Structure 1
Amino acid sequence: MTGAQVLDVAQDGIWTLIYVSSPLMIVGLVVGVVIALFQALTQIQEMTLVFVPKILAIFITMILLLPFMGSMMGGYMNRVADLIISGG
C-alpha cells in the first residue's frame, strides 16, 4: 500500500467513527442541556441528577441505532478487507 492509500483508509475510518458516534454524542448533549436548564429553572443544585437520564437516553439511542452502527462498521470492514485481498 502506498502512503496515499493508508491515509485514505485512515480518513475513511475517522469518518466512520464520526458517523457512528455522533448520534450518541448529540443525544447526550441535548439531554444534558435540558437537565441543566431544568436545574437552573428550579434551582436544584444536585450534581448527580444529570447522570441517570443521560445514561438512559444514550442507552436507548444506542439500542435503536445499533443496526445503522453495525452496517456502517461492517461496510468499513468490508472496504478494508477488499483492500487487503486486492493487495493494495
Structure 2
Amino acid sequence: MQEELIGLGIETFKIALVLALPALLVGMFLGLAVSIFQATTQINEMTLSFIPKIIGIVIIVILTMPWMMNTMEDFTIRIFNMIPTFMQ
C-alpha cells in the first residue's frame, strides 16, 4: 500500500512535468531567440522579451490542449479506479 502511494506520487510529478514541458520549451527557445535579437540590434526593451513568449506559450497550450486533456483524463480515471484499494 505504501509503495503504491509513493509510486502514485512519483507518477503525478512525472505527468506534471510532461504536461508542462511543451510550454516551457517554447518559452525557453523564444526567450533565447529574443535575447539573440536584442544582443545583435542592441534594443533593450523589456516588453520585447515578454510579448513573444506569452504569445508562443498561449499558441502551444492551445495546440497541445487535446493531448493534455486526454493525459489528465486517463490519469484521473486511473486514480478513481484505485480508490477502493486504498480504502482497505
Q: Above 0.5 in TM-score?
A: yes
User: What TM-score results when the alignment is normalised by the length of structure 1?
Assistant: 0.93
DSSP 3-state at the match of 1:44: coil
- Residue 75 of structure 1 and its aligned partner are, at CA, apart by 1.1
1:87 aligns with 85
2:31 aligns with 32
- Residue 56 of structure 1 and its aligned partner are, at CA, apart by 0.4
Over 2 Å off, 4+ runs: none
2:16 aligns with 17
Which structure is higher in RCO with an 8 Å CA cutoff and minimum separation 6?
Answer: 1
2:55 aligns with 56
Q: Which residues of structure 1 form unaligned runs of 5+?
A: none
Q: Name the % identity.
A: 31
Q: Which residues of structure 2 form unaligned runs of 5+?
A: none
DSSP 3-state at the match of 1:45: coil
